[in-house]
Amino acid sequence: MGEFELIARYFSRPGLAQRYPQLQLGVGDDCALLQAPAGQQLAISTDTLVSGVHFFADVPPRSLGHKALAVNLSDLAAMGATPLGFTLALTLPQIDEPWLAEFAAGLHTLADTHACPLIGGDTTRGPLAIGVTVLGSVPPGAALRRSGAQLGDDIYISATAQDCVGQARAGLALRQGSLQLPAADAVYALQRLQAPTPRLALGLALRGLANSCMDVSDGLLGDLQHLLRASGVGAVLHAPRLWDMAASRPVLAALPAAQQLDFICHGGDDYELLFSAAPAQAAAIAQAAQQAGCLALRIGRIVPTAMGLQVQDAAGQVLPLTATGFTHF
C-alpha cells in the first residue's frame, strides 16, 4: 500500500461536506477549504504526540487516535471555541493496516462526536509521531484567555462524579511500574491517561462567566503558574478541598494523602479545565457546569502577586509543594 492508498482507505471519508456545512473541500486536494461562521474569529491550536514521550509504544491504537484529537479539542474548550475541523500529520515507521484501522476509528469517532471533521494533512515515514492542528470559531471578544484572572476570583477545576485531576498521573505511575492499583482502579486510571475527555461543552458554557481559563495538560500547579503570570496575580489553593476531591473519586481514594496531593498538583494529561470567576458568579458557574454534564469544584482564590502560588492546609499553613509541571526542555 502506498501513501495515497493509505490516505484514501483510512482518512478520506466521502460525504463529509454534506454532513458538515463548514467543510467546502476536504481531504484529497492541495489545501482544504473551510468556511468560518460569519463574524467569528478563528481559534487554532497544534499539538504533537511522539512515541516514547507522550505515549507508550504499545498503547491501544484506538485510544491513541482518540487522544491525538482530544488534547487539541481541549485547547478549544479552554478558549470557549466551537470546533470546525482538524488536520493530521502522521509519521509512521511502516504500514500496519490493523493498527491504522483502529487508530482511524478512535480518531473519527471523537471527531464525529464533536462535529470536527478531518479536513487534510500529511503522511510520511519515520518514528511514530502524530501532529494535529485543530480549528475552531469564537465570537470576537468572547474567547476565554489565561490573562483575565482578577483579585478575589474563585479558582475552579472541572471534574465529574468519577473524574478529577491526578488520575492520569496514577495511570502513568501504573505503566511505569511505580504504583499498584486494584484491577478496577487500574483500568480506570489507564482510561484517564489514554483517552481523556475534552470539556468542550463546559468551555462554551463559561463564556461570559469565567474571567480566565486554560486546560490542565502538564500539571495543576505548573499550568496554574502560567495563568497567574499571564494575569499578573497570585493564588492560594486549599489542600483540604483537593483531598476531598480525591477521597470521593476512584483511583485516588485509596492512595495516601501525600501521594494524592502530589498526583493532583503535579500530574498532567487529565485535560480538565482550570478557570477563575468572580464569587458573584458561583451559582451561574454551578449551573453552567451541570448543563455541560460535569462539575466545577472551587479549590482556591486569586490573591495579590506578592503571595505567589501557595497550597495551604486547613490551618492556613503553606505546604512545601513546588509549582512545577511537565516540560520538554
260 and 132 in a single domain? The answer is no
Confidence (pLDDT) at 2: 75
Return d(Cα 324, Cα 221) in angstroms, integer: 6
Report pLDDT for 100.
95
Could you tell me the sign of the dihedral formed by the alpha carbons of 149, 274, 156, 221, in that order? negative
Q: What is the pLDDT of residue 35?
A: 86
Residues 236, 303: contact at Cβ < 8 Å?
yes
Find the domain containing 284 and state its range: 146-312
**Segments of the chain with pLDDT less than 70:** 17-18, 323-329
Sign of the Cα pseudo-torsion (59, 217, 169, 53, in order): positive
The CATH number linked to 185 is 3.90.650.10
Predicted pLDDT of residue 73? 98
The pLDDT of residue 323: 67
Residue 98 within a domain? yes
pTM above 0.85, yes or no: yes
CB of 38 closer than 8 Å to CB of 100: no
How far apart are the C-alpha atoms of 146 and 254, rounded to whole Å? 33
Comparing C-alpha atoms, which of 237, 219, 201, 214 is closest to residue 147? Answer: 214
Q: How many domains does the chain have?
A: 2
pLDDT at 36: 86
Considering the domain architecture, whether residues 305 and 202 belong to the same structural domain is answered as yes
State how far the Cα of 156 lies from the Cα of 277, in Å rounded to an integer.
8
Residue 319 lies in a domain: no
